Amino acid sequence: MSQKFVLASRNSHKVEELDRILKLAGIDAQLLTVADFPDAPEVPETESTFEGNALLKARALAKHTGLTAIADDSGLCVNALNGMPGVLSARWSGSDNDADRANMDLVLRQIHDVPDVRRGAQFVCAAAVVRADGEEFTVRGTVDGVLVREPRGTHGFGYDPIFVPNGFDVTTAEMTADQKDAISHRGQAMRQLAELI
C-alpha cells in the first residue's frame, strides 16, 4: 500500500525531483502538493535558517491536511557576499516577473569584479518532514562549486545556469536530470529523507 505525503510546494520541478528520488529509493508513495489543497495556508518564510523555514512550512501543512508533510528551503550561498543571498535566494532581486533571471542577474552584477578564484558558492537545501502525530526531523544537503560569469544551459531552474559544481566543468543547468539529482543539494537532502521515511 502506498504512503501518502504532501509536499509544501507548487514548484513542479521540486515535485518531479522528489518523485524520482522516492521511486529510486523504492518507496511506493502518492505525492500530493499544496495545489491539491486550495485552502492550505500560505506560510511566510520568516526564519533566518533554511531548517527553520522548512519546518514552518511542513508544520503548517501537516496540521492543515493531517498527512505527513515534506517541505524544503534552499538557496545559493555566495562566499564573496558573506553567504548571501542564502534564505533570501528566491526573492533576492525583489522581482515577481521572471524572478529566476532577475535574481541570477543581480548576483552576477554584485560579484562582477570578484576574481574567478574567489567566486566560490554553495547550494544548500534543508528538508523537513512533519508527521501528523507531531514527529519531525530535518536533514541538510550541500554542494560546493563556483559561479561562472555568464549563464549556461537550459535545464534546471533558479541559479543553476551560473553554478558549476566542484569536479565538473558544466553548470547544473547543462546537466541531465539524473546527473543533477546524483550530486545536487536537494537530491542529497531528499535521499536522506527517503531513508528516514
* Angle formed at CA 99 by CA 15 and CA 103, multiple of 5 degrees: 110
Handedness of CA 98, 84, 75, 161 (dihedral sign): positive
Active site residue 113: no
In whole angstroms, give the CA distance from residue 36 to residue 9.
10
The three cell numbers locating residue 27: 518507496
In whole angstroms, give the CA distance from residue 88 to residue 48.
9
- 95 contacts: CB under 8 Å, gap ≥ 6: 102, 103
CB 16 within 8 A of CB 40: no
Cα 18 from chain centre: 11
Q: Which of 19, 39, 72, 73 is catalytic?
A: 73
Q: How far apart are the first and last CA of the chain?
A: 15
Positions marked catalytic? 73
